[in-house]
Structure 1
Amino acid sequence: MKIAFRASPKPGAQRALHELSSRYGQAAVAEADFIVTLGGDGTALEALHEALAMPAKPVFAMRTDSSTGILCNSLRTHGLIERLQAASRVQLPVLQAEIEQAGGRSRVLFAINEIVLERQVFQQARLKVAVHGKGVPTSIKGDGLVLTTPIGSTGYNRAHDGPLLPLGSSLLALTGIGIRRPSVWSPIPLSDRDILDVEVIDAAHRPVQIRTVFETIPNICRARLFRSPDRTVTLLLGREAQSRLCTPFGRQC
């Protein structure tokens, strides 16, 4: 069994990396059967993004003492092979954004927890928002929007009063950031089969950027956001981690 270890730069994670790689070896990600991370949710998300191009590559995250996160298993340096074999596989959906920037350049980005559209300058953004093939577009004015998956709904989305999505559900949530108009705006639950079209109004004077945890693309004119139809990532969870992950969602595992 080949394992690729990824660790945060914190001393505790680096010590665990040295011990585990000495015991189990260190494989290149492309050749590994598993990616094992040492740190917190940030390190786990980095590995999951790395695995986007390798959908069969599962990620087993272990949390060091100085880190926090609900995606991680407890850190133990012994019995790793048995833990990997016994862990449950959780398939996480991936968000995709097809973006057109000012000047006509096209970009594509992916996210596991959320995609954020937000103003770049002091002036609030003006956006025209539509669910593709459903109803008429809505024009809004505010600081931006957040599109989130169930696994991401406990974080930035909740900080802006977005809904907590049931874990494992076929839902996404569209949550506003500082929406001034319309004043009756409220978060919108979407099917994960819906396609969201966003156009930036007056982009030259009210520029908008789009970002994920790891990438920011400025000066966008329009974007199409949806659940990627052909990409998922696999997170490995032991029983303790499953229970911890379900706790914020009010579920028993």
Structure 2
Amino acid sequence: MTEISRRHGSPHHRVSENARVILDSADVNRVLTRIAHEIVEANKGTQDLVLLGIPRRGYPLAQRIAQKIASTEPHFDPESCLGQLDITMYRDDLRRNTSRTPQPTRIPAGGIDGKNVVLVDDVLYSGRTIRAALDALGDFGRPEVVRLAVLADRGHRQLPIRADHVGKNLPTSQNESVQVFLRETDEPVALAAGDADRDLGDCVLLVPAASGADAVDVGKQETTGNDAEGTVES
């Protein structure tokens, strides 16, 4: 396995000794380009299309997808079709995790009634974050259709929820964790031996079950995420 470290004060600060790079920056860019095309195709154009990112990493992903759509669809305005949907107060683990800080919800000026809404998140896991997002969405209107786009789907669903657009299907065991780092939200990740070969400004890492010293490092990273299940696992 490859040892990974973060540029955070000391160059020897480890994310995990055994983390494996699943997607690097180039891979992330490619899968977001594909997802953008899939969204336009499924929507049969951009009419009534609204992208809503789920904080923390879902929103910058939605921004990137919106820009990619705009680059090929001149009538698509990212500013008026992009928003952020916070689900903090709708989570079913809120009583057990009271330290979560709500993020602002930004619904486009045209609202979501009758719109084709695409929820965007980073990792799909149990499905509980998406269930909370659907509950939150109902407080802001009644979309015509709701679809889901995720950067990675690691399986192990606890609710009957599936993604319509997936960057990477990633089979995992439940004792592994999936970590996502984005330029907009995280400090860069660097290979311990140097990062000349791969740009990890954006990346998806698969981390085996941690033990001993590794458990401390992985645990610190997981507390920054959006979900109780793991770093960014929804």
TM-score range, shorter chain: under 0.3
Q: Which structure is higher in helix share?
A: 2
Relative contact order, higher structure (CA 8 A, sep 6+):
2
What TM-score do you get using the length of structure 2 for normalisation? 0.27
